[in-house]
Chain A
């Protein structure tokens, strides 16, 4: 068993931001990530980000990943980044187990920051296992990390920011997007994202969902259906769209499993995307010295994940006796950033979710 000071699970925007401030405070940090490169989902985001300068607004996502990573460069003596390493177990006695290259390892850290992110939700419909049906994140990975086109003609399900952004990226890669389906009566994502797709001629059909996929060995076409005000299918409104790829972008669920396994107190909050840990104002879970931040504590944008990650890093390091020299100033600043990012109409859902969760400001 290897002893560690602070272990951060997940090298996405939350985990890397947590690592930076903890390292600045003097704390030793080990980051565990199952991917080959740090950056999490940022690594495949080719669009410019929203937010303010503090969250690197107008910088492209993969460049933000580069900045967050290079921020850690000067602390190499205190930092260990374990990539290609999956955290597979967290136990009540603060033992973490990992799997890497078929090697199983045990760690014991004084504190943990859980920044595991989220996974994509899927949809139940007839033939949803046909080859050619992807999650939007998988399509991004194929295109933007591996340079592989998923198909030639795509139908996108979901008009949240991910559905809209991935549609735009598909078109940039030369793929035809034949339609975006949205079950709700209005577009879910930012209207600027929708407008930049509409002007390219991609139709967005609201109150419409996928009824079934059709194909022999692989996807050949989909059948869509209109929904009424109570989200019930309207008979007779079925339409066929020929496509070789169907991309599902219907939301994310927090990757809570490690915390659930360790017995951390959790609560199901629909607005936050699913099962999330109860946190105090210092982002600490019901388990001593286990903190959580980013999408695993409620689905939000990467900008919020960075601010929340930094807060978790400051608090976790302080618990271990490493109080950041600018602790008070930084805590106030990151809390203000979170408040700014959440206070508009687009933050309504997350505010309601946090209220329901009850134990966070």
Chain B
């Protein structure tokens, strides 16, 4: 199965969007945009000019991970919810992800980590849930998982439903 048939990108597609793990010692945005569509808010919202789309707004965004500070402003700017920020810290992977469901996670809670097919794969410790107004009701959630889920974790599910 492929992205075109079931909406799930392949491991290879996902890996191509990640910088090397050495670079991920600092937080970096991962742009999971695989298709040319007319859209450019990630690029125009980046305060560090790290994301380039160029003249044709249909182009796939390119990110310069040297310029990216992992600030995460692009996360809530992406209408496709296709951007996360990833970082590694010894045996942990730390993510900032967009989340648009209720209830809003609370720091300290342990939620269910899901992969790109929606399978539960790991425990996800909620570190922060940023509801600031400029996110426009997309909550940016900081989550910690075991490092081995770096390339598989994508979102969270509430364990209390």
Query: Residues of A with Cβ closer than 8 Å to B?
Result: 47-53, 57-60, 171-172, 185-187, 190-204, 206, 301, 303, 340-347
How long is the Cα–Cα vector from A186 to B5 in the complex, in angstroms?
A: 5
Contact A199 B116 (CB under 8 A): yes
- A200-B58 contact, Cβ under 8 Å, with A49-B79, A57-B41: no
Contact partner of B4 (CB less than 8 A), chosen from A51, A59, A187, A200, is A187
Q: Judge if B109 is at the interface, Cβ distance under 8 Å.
A: no
Contact partner of B57 (CB less than 8 A), chosen from A52, A186, A200, A203, is A52
Q: Which residues of A contact B159 (CB under 8 A)?
A: none
Contact B45 A345 (CB under 8 A): no
- When A and B form their complex, which 7 residue pairs have the shortest distance between CB atoms, in order from nearest? A201-B118, A344-B58, A192-B80, A194-B7, A198-B7, A48-B79, A58-B41
Shortest Cβ gap from A75 to chain B (Å): 28
Chain B's closest residue to A341 (CB) is B38
Shortest Cβ gap from A342 to chain B (Å): 8
Contact A57 B40 (CB under 8 A): yes
Q: Judge if B155 is at the interface, Cβ distance under 8 Å.
A: yes
Chain B's closest residue to A344 (CB) is B58
Q: Judge if B64 is at the interface, Cβ distance under 8 Å.
A: no
Contact partner of B38 (CB less than 8 A), chosen from A51, A196, A200, is A51
Chain B CB within 10 Å — which of A49, A59, A200 has the most?
Answer: A200
Contact A58 B79 (CB under 8 A): yes
User: Interface majority SS on B: helix, strand, loop or mixed?
Assistant: loop
Contact B117 A198 (CB under 8 A): yes
Chain B's closest residue to A207 (CB) is B5
Binary A-proximity of B1-13 (CB < 8 A = 1, otherwise 0): 0011111110000
Contact A60 B137 (CB under 8 A): yes
Chain B CB within 10 Å — which of A196, A206, A341 has the most?
Answer: A196
Shortest Cβ gap from B122 to chain A (Å): 14
- A195-B5 contact, Cβ under 8 Å, with A50-B80, A52-B44: no
Q: List 26 contacting pairs A-B, 8 Å CB cutoff, sorted by A.
A: A50-B37, A50-B38, A51-B38, A51-B40, A52-B41, A52-B57, A57-B79, A186-B4, A187-B6, A191-B35, A192-B80, A192-B81, A196-B81, A199-B118, A200-B114, A200-B155, A200-B157, A201-B117, A201-B118, A204-B7, A206-B6, A340-B38, A343-B56, A344-B36, A345-B35, A346-B37
- A172-B39 contact, Cβ under 8 Å, with A47-B79, A48-B138: no
Chain A's closest residue to B155 (CB) is A199
How long is the Cα–Cα vector from A200 to B155 in the complex, in angstroms?
A: 8
- A196-B80 contact, Cβ under 8 Å, with A186-B4, A191-B7, A344-B56: yes
Shortest Cβ gap from B79 to chain A (Å): 4
- A345-B80 contact, Cβ under 8 Å, with A58-B41, A191-B35, A200-B155: no
Contact B58 A346 (CB under 8 A): yes
Binary A-proximity of B144-161 (CB < 8 A = 1, otherwise 0): 000000000011010000
Q: Judge if B100 is at the interface, Cβ distance under 8 Å.
A: yes
Q: Which residues of A contact B129 (CB under 8 A)?
A: none
Q: Which residues of A contact B9 (CB under 8 A)?
A: 195
Shortest Cβ gap from B6 to chain A (Å): 5
Shortest Cβ gap from B160 to chain A (Å): 13
Binary A-proximity of B32-59 (CB < 8 A = 1, otherwise 0): 1111111111001100000000001110
Contact partner of B119 (CB less than 8 A), chosen from A57, A171, A201, A343, is A201
Q: Which residues of B contact A303 (CB under 8 A)?
A: 38
Contact B44 A190 (CB under 8 A): no
Chain B's closest residue to A200 (CB) is B118
Shortest Cβ gap from A282 to chain B (Å): 24
- A48-B114 contact, Cβ under 8 Å, with A57-B39, A58-B41, A341-B38: no
